[in-house]
Amino acid sequence: MPDLAVKYLGEIHIPVLDLYGVDDIDPVLKSVGKRAQASKENKYYTQKKVDADHFFNDKDELLIDEVSAWLK
């Protein structure tokens, strides 16, 4: 995630699911800490790492299950 996008995470005051995979692309993995830090003021921010790649290839059910659980 570009630094510009990370910069604004703290200003978003709605629920946000930051779902990323253990085999995600480098920019996503390298900014995990920055995203978490930038979102500290959003009590509805959730960051979760799952066993998937960036596109959730062959992991449709995992993606649906994680998003559904978060929405509930």
Q: How many domains does the chain have?
A: 1
Q: Which two tokens stand for residue 70?
A: 């978060």
Structural domain including 13 reads 3-71
What pLDDT was estimated at residue 18? 96
SS3 content of the chain, % helix, strand, coil (to 5): 45, 25, 35
> Model pTM?
0.86
Give the chain's residues under pLDDT 50: 1
What pLDDT was estimated at residue 15? 93
What pLDDT was estimated at residue 2? 55
